[in-house]
Amino acid sequence: MGILNWGFRANVKVHQSSKAYDLPLKSNKEDSISFTDFVRKEIPTLDESKKLWLHPLLFNGALQTLYYTSVDSIAKFPVYYGRETFEYKDQGTCSLDWAIPKPESKEEFKKLHDETLPEDSPKLHPRTRFFSEQELAERKKHGQDVGSEKPIAVVLHGLCGGSHEPLIRNFVETINSHVNGWDVLVVNNRGCCRTKITSAKLFNALSTDDVKDVLHELKKRYPSRPIYAVGFSFGACILANFLGDPNHSEEDHNLIRAAALIGCPWDLVDSCYHLQQSYSGNYLFNPALTTYLQKLVKNNYKTLSSFSPDVFTDDLYREFMKPKTTVEFDNVYTCHSAGFSNAMDYYREASPVRRIGNIKTPTLILNSTDDPTISVRLPKLEVLENPYLAMIETDLGGHLSYAKRSGDFWSVELVEEFFTKFDKVVA
């Protein structure tokens, strides 16, 4: 995006297939609406005839992205979480952060935080505590809430993120203020958001089995509750790969009722080059991402090396402290822990554009062509061939941000409206 395109009023384009995918209506199950018509008629936030007005001082993608990375989400979006540790089938672990109501007493919340924090646990982010054993027993009870149709919104975070991210906290706050009865669950990947690593496996773009394990557990606990899923950035990459997995069973396809992919890096090879070609990407965002990844390994090196001494060696560890780019890090660690010989092989195989044609879940996609961190060559032709997809393209918004004058994020409004309208209209 050139300097002549800078501004604060974005153009919005909707790309959808002309093929019909019909959705039954709750008002009359014998009647239906195509997914194309649903997106264009039931989501007033989307209006191609109008400009999208964003923050006037954040007039290009780099500034939008810098705002997103610097906003104090803890103060601006004061949401609370209860945490449980979830074990995958391979004995790896993630943290499930459930949005919980604001406590009546901050002192009581702190007391519960101190009582439930495991001795070996890192310090949690503010307004987050572990559930008590009694609370966990209730949540882990399989088959509970039979017949309940209270929706669950599952959130997959970005590469360096977790439930503390501003976009995620804004999403939780927006859901809680606009609708009653929804649960929001953030899946914090292995090692992320102060989650301890308990196996040799790092999370990567092909960690679709991790997503599947969590979703199947939710279905066992709450068999009648619809699940909606949103992925942000790298989380969108993992979610897209999950949705498009060609080996899915019919049960797997039915786990998620509708999905949203925000700032998805569709082509990881192209995203790698794109990140290094702009000043902000090369000198700001790439080093910041790499530093986070280095910290993740450094904090968990003893565990990683004990489970996989061939990959996490002392020699590689010394080398790993040198990289200043994500591709260098991925070439040292991620590709090998994921079973690839080098980073580019991993990027090619893990790019969700390879699986976009297999997605059979109604999915809303949002990408900005001024994104400084991921590829802006969007898979529009592939979208036009798949009636389950709706791609929203903008020319301002940066990576994930879409910050408005208020400091809130337009992308959150879009996803919240898509999910709640889908749940209200579609049978």
Six-digit token string for 141: 């009870």
Residue 15 C-beta-side C-alpha neighbours within 13 Å: 16
Which range of residues forms the domain containing residue 392?
A: 3-267+351-425
Residue 296 C-beta-side C-alpha neighbours within 13 Å: 26
Catalytically annotated residue among 17, 34, 73, 233: 233
Encoded amino acid at 262, one letter: I
The pLDDT, as a whole number, for residue 412 is 95
The pLDDT, as a whole number, for residue 323 is 64
Of 329, 347, 365, which residue constitutes the final position of a domain?
347
CATH code of residue 48: 3.40.50.1820
147 pLDDT more than 70: no
CB 140 within 8 A of CB 222: no
233 an active-site residue?
Answer: yes
**How far is Cα 236 from Cα 263, in angstroms, rounded to an integer?**
7
Residues 180 and 315 in one domain: no
Catalytically annotated residue among 157, 164, 248, 399: 399
Residues 315 and 366 in one domain: no
Residues 130 and 260 in one domain: yes
Confidence of residue 313 (pLDDT cuts 50, 70, 90): confident
Confidence of residue 261 (pLDDT cuts 50, 70, 90): very high
The pLDDT, as a whole number, for residue 26 is 92
Residues 361 and 415 in one domain: yes
Q: Which of 305-309, 316-320, 356-360 has the highest mean pLDDT?
A: 356-360
Residues 263 and 278 in one domain: no
Six-digit token string for 4: 């002549």
Residues 306 and 255 in one domain: no
The pLDDT, as a whole number, for residue 1 is 47
SS3 130: strand
Residues 41 and 170 in one domain: yes
Q: Name the nearest CA neighbour of 197 among 100, 272, 85.
A: 85
Residues 174 and 222 in one domain: yes
Of 325, 347, 369, which residue constitutes the final position of a domain?
347
| More confident site: 112 or 69 | 112
Summarize the confidence of residues 370-383 as an average pLDDT.
Answer: 96
Radius of gyration for the alpha carbons in the chain, expressed in angstroms and rounded:
21
Residues 289 and 319 in one domain: yes
Distance of CA 339 to the CA centre of its chain: 23
* Tens digit of each residue's pLDDT (9 = 90 or more) over 73-90: 778 899 999 999 999 999
Residues 281 and 216 in one domain: no
Residues 278 and 196 in one domain: no
Q: What is the DSSP string of 17-42?
A: -SS--EEEBSS-TT-EEEHHHHHHHH
**The overall pTM is greater than 0.85:** yes
Six-digit token string for 423: 């749940």
The pLDDT, as a whole number, for residue 122 is 87
For residue 385, give Cα distances in angstroms to 4, 19, 352, 359, 380.
33, 8, 15, 11, 9
**How far is Cα 382 from Cα 354, in angstroms, rounded to an integer?**
10
Residues 6+ apart with CB under 8 A from 187: 94, 95, 96, 154, 155, 156, 157, 210, 211, 214
Residues 168 and 311 in one domain: no
Count of the separate structural domains present in the chain? 2
* Tens digit of each residue's pLDDT (9 = 90 or more) over 19-29: 989 999 998 87
SS3 317: helix
* Tens digit of each residue's pLDDT (9 = 90 or more) over 159-174: 989 999 999 999 999 9
Catalytically annotated residue among 97, 210, 267, 371: 371
Of 314, 347, 380, which residue constitutes the final position of a domain?
347
The pLDDT, as a whole number, for residue 219 is 94
399 an active-site residue?
Answer: yes
* Tens digit of each residue's pLDDT (9 = 90 or more) over 382-418: 999 999 999 999 999 999 999 999 989 999 999 999 9
